Structure 1
Amino acid sequence: MKNFALIGASGYIAPRHMKAIKETNNNLIAALDKNDSVGIIDRYFPQTDFFTEFERFDRHLSKLQFDKNVPLDFVSICTPNYLHDSHIRFGLRQGADAICEKPLVLNPWNMDELKKMEQETGKRIWNILQLRVHPSIIALKEKIAKGPTDKIYDVDLTYLTSRGNWYYTSWKGDSTKSGGIATNIGVHFFDMLSWIFGDLKENIVHVNTHDRSAGYLEFEKARVRWFLSINADMLPNEVKAKSQTTYRSITIEGEELEFSGGFTDLHTVSYQQIISGNGYGLEAPRQAIEIVHNIRHATPIGAKGSYHPFVKKPLAKHPFG
């Protein structure tokens, strides 16, 4: 049984990590969050020691390790994106491996510095890349690998996930903290595309605003038009008619990739692989981190060239001006 600590216990994604720790028969010995709405812990680890102050959390872990000989094997990180780098470093300094939600970091050079820390501490940094363990995505990767070596596939990626005005008040609405829409809701799709279709050759941004981002990516084996948005007005009418708030579509050569199901256990699968030493480490998401970093700093060119059809949909005004 491995011992875990978790940073960011009150966030949206934390319960998936708690569930994964529980389902892999391990133990959560301590959790931290500045917010105390963490009753979800009771579902998995009611005996976990919980802290709202980092200093007390840090001291507690040290006392467990040095006064009671309780080892800390992993620190799971579910905090806002801009804090990942710091919290990964904390985990390694505690003598534990770090398991971090996407995006691993906001900037490519952060990965270079973390690599030095891995070497100095002898500990590993693991990334949750759940799409890489999704059966449909694995099958697609195998299909592409067995296909014609000279074929370039045409791909359209559309991901619409509605968010209310709270989004803009939260850290997610601050691009310096979240990295913007392409980073916050798109990085795992860009990682998936990198994993399947190879090295990136071109990255063009058509639109990049508070509520949407769109562009064109050319990989070794794919030409990708992509569109991401948190604006409910972008949803197709048939989706709105069903009172659904999310629309996810990936077409390859005009054929829809069905991967809407099978998401509930992907964190558990990821944890199983990490604990066995076969997870996705520090270097795995590098190209995706480079892609979203470049999107964030690119100058959008508008509806020119090979752009996603949704690019021409009317732009929405920011709710706070």
Structure 2
Amino acid sequence: MKNFALIGAAGYIAPRHMRAIKETSNHLAVAYDINDSVGIIDSISPQSEFFTEFERFHEHAHRLQRTPSSALDYVSVCSPNHLHHPHIAAGLRLGCDVICEKPLVPTSALVDELQRVERETGKRVFNILQLRHHAAILALREKVAAAPAATKFDVELTYITSRGKWYAESWKGDSRKSFGLATNIGVHFYDMLHFIFGGLQRNVVHHSDAVSAAGYLEYERARVRWFLSIDASDLPAQVAGRQTTFRNIDVNGEKLEFSDGFTDLHTTSYREILAGRGYGLEDARHCIETVEVIRSATPVRDAQGEAHPLARRSA
């Protein structure tokens, strides 16, 4: 049984990490968040220590390290995006391996810095890239690998997940903390595309604002038109009023169905990490480089017919 600490216990994604720790028969020893709305802990790990001040959490973690039976093995990081780097570094320097939510960090330079801290501490960082474990994604990857080497697939990716007015007031609506829409909600899709279709060759942005973004990505094996939005008005007519999220990936005109099968992917990710097969810093570099370019790009007019249909509507 491994001992875990969790940073960011009040966040949306934290319960999935808590359950993954429990479902892999491990122990959540201590959790931290500046907010105290963490009642979910009662149904998962009610004996866990909890702190709302990082200094008290950090001192408690150091005390745990003095005794082999209580020493922390892993720190799980679920804090807001802009805090991932310092929290990962703190976990490594506690003598723990670290499991972090995506986006891991905003820039490839910070990946380099974390690799330096890995070397200094002898510990490792793992990123949750759960779509790489999804059965439909793995099947498509095999299909692409089996196709003739010269084949390029035409892909249209649409992800609309409508958010209320709270979003703009939260850290997620502050680009200094979330690093923008494409980074916050798109990074795992870019990782998925790289995982399936290989190295990125072109990265063009056609549209970008606070609530939506769109562009064109060309990989070794695919041409991808993508559109991301948190604006409910972008929902297709056939689902508007009935559901708040629309997720669709078409590959050569065929819909990739992956709406189901998400429930246990964090637990699967934890099992793989604990078995020595987790995805580390270099695995995450590609999608970090992709969003780094998207954030800094100036949207261009579509002169080659490469834009997503919804991007053309937004232009």
Smaller-chain TM-score bracket? over 0.9
Deviation at residue 33 of structure 1 after TM alignment: 0.2
CA contact (8 A) 1:303 1:311 kept: no
Deviation at residue 296 of structure 1 after TM alignment: 0.3
- 1:97-116 CA-to-partner distances (Å, cap 9, x unmatched) read 00000001011110001111
Higher deviation after alignment, 60-69 or 296-305: 60-69
Deviation at residue 69 of structure 1 after TM alignment: 5.3
Higher deviation after alignment, 301-310 or 215-224: 301-310
**What secondary structure is seen at the aligned counterpart in 2 of 1:237?**
coil
Deviation at residue 176 of structure 1 after TM alignment: 1.5
CA contact (8 A) 2:202 2:217 kept: yes
Runs of 4+, deviation exceeding 4 Å: none
CA contact (8 A) 1:173 1:180 kept: yes
Query: Residue 10 of structure 1 corresponds to which residue in structure 2?
Result: 10
CA contact (8 A) 2:23 2:267 kept: yes
CA contact (8 A) 2:178 2:184 kept: yes
**What secondary structure is seen at the aligned counterpart in 2 of 1:189?**
helix
Higher deviation after alignment, 259-268 or 139-148: 139-148
Query: Residue 166 of structure 1 corresponds to which residue in structure 2?
Result: 166
**What secondary structure is seen at the aligned counterpart in 2 of 1:12?**
coil
2:258 corresponds to 1:278: no
Deviation at residue 70 of structure 1 after TM alignment: 1.6
- 1:71-102 CA-to-partner distances (Å, cap 9, x unmatched) read 11000000111110111000000000000000
CA contact (8 A) 1:161 1:232 kept: yes
**What secondary structure is seen at the aligned counterpart in 2 of 1:110?**
helix
**Residues 117-266 of structure 1: matches in 2 within 5 Å?**
117-241=117-241, 243-266=242-265
Deviation at residue 303 of structure 1 after TM alignment: 3.9
C-alpha distance in 1, partners of 2:96/2:303? 48
**What secondary structure is seen at the aligned counterpart in 2 of 1:186?**
helix
The one-letter code of the counterpart of 1:248 is R
Higher deviation after alignment, 185-194 or 232-241: 232-241
Deviation at residue 314 of structure 1 after TM alignment: 4.4
- 1:197-251 CA-to-partner distances (Å, cap 9, x unmatched) read 111110000001000000000011100000000000000111114x200000000
CA contact (8 A) 2:207 2:314 kept: no
C-alpha distance in 2, partners of 1:14/1:182? 21
Deviation at residue 304 of structure 1 after TM alignment: 3.5
Query: Residue 90 of structure 1 corresponds to which residue in structure 2?
Result: 90
Deviation at residue 67 of structure 1 after TM alignment: 5.7
**What secondary structure is seen at the aligned counterpart in 2 of 1:218?**
strand
Deviation at residue 119 of structure 1 after TM alignment: 1.1
Query: Residue 59 of structure 2 corresponds to which residue in structure 1?
Result: 59
For the structure 1 residues 67 and 141, does the alpha-carbon distance in structure 2 shift closer, same or farther, using more than 3 Å as the test?
A: closer
The one-letter code of the counterpart of 2:119 is Q
C-alpha distance in 2, partners of 1:144/1:157? 17
Query: Residue 23 of structure 1 corresponds to which residue in structure 2?
Result: 23
Deviation at residue 151 of structure 1 after TM alignment: 0.2
TM-score normalised by length of structure 1: 0.96
The one-letter code of the counterpart of 2:234 is M
Give structure 2 stretches of 5+ with no counterpart. Answer: none
2:278 corresponds to 1:293: no
**What secondary structure is seen at the aligned counterpart in 1 of 2:47?**
coil
The one-letter code of the counterpart of 1:54 is F
**What secondary structure is seen at the aligned counterpart in 2 of 1:247?**
strand
Give structure 1 stretches of 5+ with no counterpart. Answer: 316-321
**What secondary structure is seen at the aligned counterpart in 2 of 1:225?**
strand
- 1:176-200 CA-to-partner distances (Å, cap 9, x unmatched) read 2111110000000000001111111
**What secondary structure is seen at the aligned counterpart in 2 of 1:155?**
strand
The one-letter code of the counterpart of 1:295 is I
2:34 corresponds to 1:34: yes
Higher deviation after alignment, 4-13 or 171-180: 171-180
C-alpha distance in 2, partners of 1:240/1:309? 18
CA contact (8 A) 1:99 1:128 kept: yes
**What secondary structure is seen at the aligned counterpart in 2 of 1:123?**
coil
For the structure 1 residues 2 and 67, does the alpha-carbon distance in structure 2 shift closer, same or farther, using more than 3 Å as the test?
A: closer
Query: Residue 111 of structure 1 corresponds to which residue in structure 2?
Result: 111
**What secondary structure is seen at the aligned counterpart in 1 of 2:227?**
strand
Identity of aligned residues (%): 60
C-alpha distance in 2, partners of 1:68/1:139? 43
